[in-house]
Amino acid sequence: MENYLKAVYELEEFQERAATTTALAEKLNVASPSVTAMLKRLSQQEPALVNYTSHRGVTLTEVGRLRALKVIRYHRLIETFLYEVLGYTWDEVHEEAERLEHYISERFEDRLARFLGYPDFDPHGSPIPREDGSVPVSNTLPLHKLEVGRPARVVRVVHERQEVRDYVASLGIVPDATVQVTEVSPFEGPVYVRIGAREGEAVHGLGVNVAGKIEVMPV
């Protein structure tokens, strides 16, 4: 249930529109009928956690949004702890946090947040929602909006498709990598990106649709 709420939240956040059953099925790696059944359950809870009408997609209710943010808060606090204290690498923390996020108590959350000094961002650079449900604003920008020639650090790749995230990672576009836009073609044309800040390093062309899902922080 928590994973569904989280998935709806993430789809809404990154696509800026209602999540569809198909997108949820793909994201959660489950069959569409199971998604539909779960969405019905979540919409019939008292209070309802989602607004769901078939063919019109699904949105979170205020109660659902707060629940999703709480799980995301747990997840990102755990990731920060694993990374900063237990010495996990950034690419190891996610899977571990996916499991642990469903099992910690509010007391543990409190202690963890205090221990970590109430961080606003996790090691991926993603904002950690606060207890009141507000979300820290990060000053990242999508790669295609980066000034040409300006080096930036990759904060996170938020594309909803795993294949795209894998492809982008295979080019070396991973959190903490340095990138530089060398050229942006007009009219939604490709964005040319140099991986690494030095002249002579590989330059790759990315569609705006992909570049727009890579969040960077100018350095």
Instruction: Identify which range of 92-100, 147-155, 179-187, 193-201 contacts Zn ion by CB under 5 A.
Output: 92-100
Cβ atoms within 10 A of the Cβ of 167, count?
A: 16
Q: Residue 212 CB, nearest distance to Zn ion (Å)?
A: 21
Q: Residue 75 CB, nearest distance to Zn ion (Å)?
A: 6
Binds Zn ion by CB under 5 A, chosen from 28, 92, 94, 153: 94
| C-alpha distance from residue 68 to each of 47, 165, 168, 191 (Å) | 14, 23, 27, 34
Cβ atoms within 10 A of the Cβ of 186, count?
A: 5
Q: Residue 10 CB, nearest distance to Zn ion (Å)?
A: 10
Tokens 């309802």 belong to which residue? 48
Helical residues (DSSP H) of 135-187, grouped into ranges: 162-170
Residue 153 makes contact with Zn ion by CB under 5 A: no
Q: At what angle do helices 90-100 and 62-84 cross, to 10 degrees?
A: 130
Tell me whether residue 94 or residue 130 sits nearer to Zn ion (CB atom): 94
Q: Residue 82 CB, nearest distance to Zn ion (Å)?
A: 10
Cβ atoms within 10 A of the Cβ of 84, count?
A: 16
Residue 41 makes contact with Zn ion by CB under 5 A: no
Q: Residue 81 CB, nearest distance to Zn ion (Å)?
A: 12
Residue 130 makes contact with Zn ion by CB under 5 A: no
- Residues in the site for Zn ion, rule: CB under 5 A? 94
